[in-house]
Structure 1
Amino acid sequence: MSSSFLPVIVGILERGFIGSFVVMAIYLASRIMKFDDFSIEGTFGLGGAIVAWSLLHNTDPWLALILGMICGGFSGCITGLLHTKLGLNKLISGIVVTTMLFSVSINIAGANVGLGNAKTIFTFAQNIPYSTLIILCLFTFITAYLFIWYMKTENGFMLRSTGINEQFITSLGKSVPFYITLSLVIANSLSALAGGVFVQYSGFYSAFGNVGILISALAGCMIAELVAGNMFLMAILGSIIYQLIIAITIELQVEPSWQKLITGLLIVVILVVKKMESKKTKGLNS
């Protein structure tokens, strides 16, 4: 492989691993719980803001990520309560929280801030070749396998069942609002984790860095759904493939300002492919 292509491939993998946390969050909220949660975009920025502020105040980088996840989880809890307790529409609940988080994030870390020489989770191994890629790879796969394990537990079964049949959960004497809120807490913790890792990876925080992250993650999720396998593992592959597509557009010298349009068109193409496959399957079964 040409040495000029190696940094590009490594960058695609690194960004793909970071993006896979948000893809997992989308899959958990949208596909498992049938809750299209817009607050995931806001918590990505919140996680980044918390981590940036923490690192600039000499906080341990791993502790900074935990703080970001806690704040992200709390935001997800608010989204869940707005829907289950106040009766707000699912989409509206997420939009309201995302809107509020934009102001919160700016007041925490400002509009733009660089980390300077602050220590990150990558600092300790910076002299090891491809250390950033290795750390992100291990971190991502450990997270995916933890979710695979969790979904096989009784609590994970209840969470999945809530998304399939709420009446079944009620008949067991379990609280549907609890499992809805729990799923949003987990999903938004994941998104905040992604935002925090991205800030440590890039070395800066921007209040506008989370804009479009939801649609990008949705594209990664839909790509992952085209591949057979466990979705928490396929989320990693889907995110990497999405980053590869974006890298190809850059290589073709497409202006970055067109990337969101390309992402939207990609989602439309995937929807058309899935619809054609569905019709083909129905035709064979009839």
Structure 2
Amino acid sequence: MSSSLLPVAIGILERGFIGSFVVMAIYLASRVMKFDDFSIEGTFGLGGAIVAWAILHDTNPWIALILAIISGGISGCITGLLHTKLGLNKLISGIVVTTMLFSISINIGTANVALGNAKTIFTTAQEYPFGTLILLALITFFIAYIFIWYMKTENGFILRSTGVNEQFVTSLGKSVPFYITLSLIMANSLSALAGGIFVQYSGFFSAFGNVGTLIAALAGCMIAELIAANMFLMAILGSIIYQLIIAITIELQVEPSWQKLITGLLIVVILVVKKMENIKGAKTV
């Protein structure tokens, strides 16, 4: 690999690892729980805002990430309660929360703020070759391992069952609203973690930086589903492939303003491919 391509490849992998947290969040909410949660986009920005504020107030960067995770969990809990306790539609619940989070993010971190020379989780890692990439890989695979392990537990089995058959979970004497809310807490914690890591990685926070996060993560999730296998591991690969596609468009000198359109078209193409595979499979049977 030439020296000019190496930084590009490293950047794709690094952004792919960060994006994979949101892909996992989409998978948890949309695929496991069958809850299309719009608040995931809002918690990405909230996590970034809290991390930016905390670091600029001399908070340890790792503690700042914990605060982001907690804030994301609380936001997911509110989304779950709006749906399970107040009876709001799933989509409306997420839209209401992500709308509120936009204002909160601006008031916490201001519209745009740079971290400057403030210490981040990457400060020490950057002193070593590929240090940032290695640190992101370790964090990503650690998180993926935790969720792979959790899904194999009894609690994880019930959570997965809730998305498939709520009556079965009720017959076991378990609370369906609890597991719906739990899945949203975990999903939004992941998204907030991604937002917090991204701010430390990029060195700045923008209140508009979360725009398009949801659709990009959905594209990564759909790519991962085409690959199949374990979704928490495939989420990482799906996110990296998505970043690769975006990098290719940049290399082709496509204006960045077209990236959201490209993402939307990519999702349409994946849907067509999946539909053709289903039709082919039905004919085979």
Task: Tell me the TM-score range normalised by the shorter chain.
Answer: over 0.9
CA positional deviation for 1:94? 0.1
The answer to whether the aligner puts 1:24 opposite 2:5 as a matched pair is: no
Match of 2:106 in 1: 106
How far did residue 228 of structure 1 move?
2.5
Quote the offset at 1:126 in angstroms.
Answer: 1.9
Query: Is 2:162 the partner of 1:162?
Result: yes
Moved more, 100-109 or 125-134: 125-134
Residues of 2 paired with 1:169 and 1:90: CA distance? 20
Look up the match of 1:252. Answer: 252
Matched, 1:72 2:65: no
2:243 alignment counterpart: 243
Distance 2:245 2:76 in 1: 30
Q: Which residue of 2 aligns with 1:2?
A: 2
How far does residue 117 in structure 1 lie from its aligned partner after superposition? 1.0
Tell me the secondary structure at the aligned position of residue 205 of structure 2: strand
Equivalent runs, 1:163-178 vs 2, <5 Å: 163-178=163-178
Give the residue type in structure 2 aligned to 1:231.
M
Counterpart for residue 35 of structure 1: 35
> Matched residues in 1 for 2:63 and 2:73: separation?
15
Q: Match for residue 44 of structure 1?
A: 44
| Counterpart in the other structure of 1:269 | 269
What CA distance in whole angstroms lies between the structure 1 residues aligned with 2:17 and 2:228? 19
Aligned twin of 1:223: 223
In structure 1, what is the Cα distance between the partners aligned to 2:151 and 2:94?
24
Q: Deviations over 1:152-184 (max 9, x none)?
A: 011101100000000001011110000000000
Deviation for aligned residue 1:280: 0.3
Structure 2: tracts of 5 or more residues without a match: none
Identity of aligned pairs, percent? Answer: 84
User: Within 2, Cα distance between the matches of 1:231 and 1:158?
Assistant: 18
The reply on whether 1:146 has 2:150 as its aligned counterpart is: no
2:30 is matched by which residue type in structure 1? S
Matches within 5 A, 1:78-89: 78-89=78-89
| Cα separation, 2, equivalents of 1:106 and 1:196 | 15
Determine the C-alpha separation between the residues in 2 that align with 1:228 and 1:236. 12
Kindly tell me the number of residue pairs found equivalent between the two proteins: 285
- Measure how far apart 1:127 and its partner are: 1.1
Give the Cα–Cα distance (whole angstroms) in 2 for the partners of residues 47 and 94 of structure 1.
16
Deviations 1:174-204 (A, max 9, x none): 1000000000000000000000000000000
Distance in 1, Cα, partners of 2:252 & 2:260: 16
Q: TM-score, normalised by structure 1?
A: 0.99
| Per-residue deviation, 1:125 | 2.2
SS at match of 1:113: strand
Cα deviation 1:100-119 (Å, max 9, x = unaligned) = 00000000010000001111
Alignment RMSD:
0.4
Q: Distance in 1 between matches of 2:130 and 2:166?
A: 46
CA distance in 1, matches of 2:126, 2:224: 31
In the alignment, the residues of structure 2 paired with residue 162 and residue 118 of structure 1 have an alpha-carbon distance, to the nearest angstrom, of 43
SS in 1 for 2:127: coil
Alignment of 1:196-211 (within 5 A): 196-211=196-211
Q: String of CA shifts for 1:126-169, please: whole Å, max 9, x gaps.
A: 21011000000110011101100000011101100000000001
* TM-score w.r.t. length of structure 2: 1.00
Q: Which amino acid aligns with 1:43?
A: T
Q: What is the CA distance between 1:264 and its match in structure 2?
A: 0.2
Aligned to 2:191: 191
Match of 2:280 in 1: 280
Cα deviation for residue 251 of structure 1 reads: 0.3
Give distance in 2, aligned partners of 1:231 and 1:278: 19
Tell me, in whole angstroms, the C-alpha distance in 1 between the residues paired with 2:206 and 2:96: 21
Structure 1 alignment gaps of length 5 or more: none
Aligned to 1:135: 135
Whole-angstrom distance in 2 between the partners of 1:125 and 1:257: 32
Corresponding residue SS for 2:184: helix
- Partners of 1:236 and 1:100 lie apart in 2 by 29
Name the aligned partner's letter for residue 119 of structure 2.
Answer: K
Match of 2:121 in 1: 121
SS of the residue 2:227 aligns to: coil
Equivalent AA in structure 1 for residue 112 of structure 2:
N
